[in-house]
């Protein structure tokens, strides 16, 4: 009897325990409703930017970053603008259609062709694979002013930053170009970073993919770190960790001498320690900038240009002079700096150079004319009475002017693009040269 009672008891418990309670819903809404709401909310956020977004676009995690400008209209049309080598360095805009589709959560797809965006995905560029950029992005998270996306195919992290309503896109882009020019320009000078007493070299910044190598280490230990230009400096695609210190965003300091981490001000990517020393070790051409010459130097410079045009025109009227350039360049054969005069005609250039020995004097630089040069340079310098007489008026005066000590400085020691030479004994006499 007791046994029966026990069995009845068990069944009674089962009866009351079954189906009395339902599992509480973890989410207030169904999965379909949540996806639908997320899509609506993503769409509203994208369209909320009346002046659009700047898209920090990396085709792949290994590629340099590009700034694109995007506006999402309520009609389902997106306007995208940008300026980069794929647009032939012209700021262009194009429209396309976009949608937020439900596909592993809300996905932003630009599903008709846009010349600015899809150029990064087009397999035609350059070899059948293309740059492999995404044009469909999972919306990961967003705030009022920032949207985090992830490329659907490549998994690349893309950030959209809301653009203030008063800021013109092209002006915004120009400010980025100015930053790029100050930081890198044409010059590929290396920068350095000292962390925990260890020095690291940062190369090839002008490619927007830094090659990072620890001082003294083998080149095959170099790592590559893509980044994008921002209004205040650069942002690496991913967090960089060196000697257990992490950083991702760097901003240019007030002296244009270093990029400082916004995460840790002690992390500084610095430019050149000694400008004169840097200049002496550079191997490229430094071209005189005709718009940045003191009156005295300008008069000599103009004399040279006029003389070149006259002399070479009278020698060959069919080959009118198109351009005259004065340049400073290290001549490794002669182990000496040289003042180079280049005269460009229709399809040819005539060059001559004279040699200047150089001496570092603290932070100053002293040039001394060696009395030598190549055949062309010496004939430009003085060939009076010789045949042919190729003496260029003003060239000798320029050599004499350079035969002096100069104080040198630059507007951005981080990566010098322009260097100003001021004569130590006569500070009213100066000239500027630009990296070429």
- CB of 168: closest distance to another protein in angstroms? 24
Cβ neighbors of 126 (< 8 A, separation 6 or more) are none
- CA dist 155 and 133 (Å) reads 10
- CB of 107: closest distance to another protein in angstroms? 10
- CA dist 52 and 17 (Å) reads 57
In degrees and rounded to multiples of 5, residue 78 shows phi and psi of: -115, 140
Residue 72 or 279: which CB sits closer to another protein? Answer: 72
- CA dist 15 and 218 (Å) reads 75
Residue 8 or 375: which CB sits closer to another protein? Answer: 8
Q: Are 237 and 60 in contact (CB under 8 A)?
A: no
Residue 14 or 254: which CB sits closer to another protein? Answer: 14
Side-chain-facing half-sphere of 293: CA atoms under 13 Å? 17
In degrees and rounded to multiples of 5, residue 427 shows phi and psi of: -70, -10
- CB of 8: closest distance to another protein in angstroms? 6
Side-chain-facing half-sphere of 158: CA atoms under 13 Å? 33
Residue 136 or 374: which CB sits closer to another protein? Answer: 136
Closest CA to 76 of 93, 55, 95, 57: 95
In degrees and rounded to multiples of 5, residue 30 shows phi and psi of: -70, 165
Q: Burial code of 373-402, b = ≥16 C-beta within 10 A, e = fewer? A: bbebbbbbbeeeeeeeebbbebbbbbbebb
Cβ neighbors of 369 (< 8 A, separation 6 or more) are 354, 355, 356, 399, 400, 402, 403
- CB of 224: closest distance to another protein in angstroms? 22
- CA dist 193 and 175 (Å) reads 26
Residue 27 or 425: which CB sits closer to another protein? Answer: 27
DSSP letter for 147, please. E
- CB of 113: closest distance to another protein in angstroms? 4
- CB of 42: closest distance to another protein in angstroms? 17
Residue 30 or 198: which CB sits closer to another protein? Answer: 30
Residue 102 or 371: which CB sits closer to another protein? Answer: 102
Residue 106 or 352: which CB sits closer to another protein? Answer: 106
- CB of 135: closest distance to another protein in angstroms? 7
> What does the binding site for another protein look like in residue numbers (CB under 8 A)?
1, 4, 7-8, 11-12, 14-15, 18-19, 30, 32-33, 36, 73-77, 95-97, 99, 103, 109-114, 118, 121-124, 127-130, 132, 135-136, 152-153
Residue 110 or 237: which CB sits closer to another protein? Answer: 110
- CB of 169: closest distance to another protein in angstroms? 20
- CB of 318: closest distance to another protein in angstroms? 41
- CB of 153: closest distance to another protein in angstroms? 8
Q: Are 195 and 243 in contact (CB under 8 A)?
A: yes
- CA dist 272 and 255 (Å) reads 13
Residue 77 or 316: which CB sits closer to another protein? Answer: 77
**Three-state secondary structure call for residue 37:** helix
- CA dist 83 and 57 (Å) reads 13
Owner of token pair 């190369």: 203
Q: In terms of DSSP bridges, do strands 418-423 and 430-435 run parallel, antiparallel, or are they unpaired? A: antiparallel
């Amino acid at each position: 009897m007791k046994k029966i009672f026990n069995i009845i008891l068990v069944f009674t418990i089962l009866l009351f325990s079954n189906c009395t309670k339902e599992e509480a819903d973890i989410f207030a809404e169904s999965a379909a409703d949540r996806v639908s709401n997320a899509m609506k909310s993503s769409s509203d956020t994208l369209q909320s930017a009346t002046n659009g977004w700047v898209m920090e676009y990396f085709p792949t995690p290994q590629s340099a970053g590009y700034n694109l400008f995007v506006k999402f209209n309520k009609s389902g049309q997106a306007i995208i603008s940008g300026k980069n080598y794929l647009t032939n360095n012209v700021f262009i805009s194009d429209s396309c259609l976009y949608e937020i589709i439900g596909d592993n959560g809300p996905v932003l797809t630009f599903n008709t062709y846009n010349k600015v965006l899809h150029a990064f995905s087009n397999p035609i560029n350059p070899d059948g694979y293309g740059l492999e950029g995404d044009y469909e992005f999972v919306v990961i998270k967003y705030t009022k002013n920032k949207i985090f996306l992830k490329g659907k195919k490549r998994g690349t992290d893309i950030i959209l930053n809301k653009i203030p309503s008063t800021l013109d896109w092209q002006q915004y882009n120009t400010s980025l170009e100015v930053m790029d020019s100050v930081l890198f320009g044409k010059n590929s000078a290396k920068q350095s970073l000292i962390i925990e007493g260890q020095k690291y070299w940062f190369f090839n910044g002008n490619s927007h993919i830094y090659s990072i190598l620890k001082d003294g280490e083998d080149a095959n230990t170099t790592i590559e770190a893509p980044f994008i230009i921002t209004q205040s400096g650069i942002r690496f695609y991913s967090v960089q960790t060196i000697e257990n210190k992490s950083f991702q965003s760097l901003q240019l300091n007030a002296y244009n001498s270093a990029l400082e981490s916004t995460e840790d001000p002690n992390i500084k990517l610095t430019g050149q320690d000694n400008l004169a020393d840097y200049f002496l070790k550079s191997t490229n051409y430094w071209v005189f900038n005709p718009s940045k010459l003191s009156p005295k130097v300008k008069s000599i410079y103009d004399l040279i240009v006029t003389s070149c045009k006259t002399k070479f025109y009278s020698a060959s009227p069919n080959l009118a002079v198109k351009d005259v350039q004065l340049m400073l360049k290290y001549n490794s054969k002669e182990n000496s700096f040289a003042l180079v005069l280049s005269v460009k005609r229709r399809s040819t250039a005539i060059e001559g150079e004279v040699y200047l020995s150089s001496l570092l004097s603290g932070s100053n630089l002293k040039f001394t004319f060696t009395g030598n040069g190549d055949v062309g340079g010496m004939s430009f310098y003085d060939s009076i009475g010789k045949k042919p007489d190729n003496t260029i008026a003003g060239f000798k005066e320029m050599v004499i002017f350079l035969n002096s000590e100069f104080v040198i400085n630059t507007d951005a020691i981080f990566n010098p693009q322009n260097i100003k030479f001021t004569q130590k004994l006569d500070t009213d006499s100066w000239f500027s040269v630009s990296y070429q």
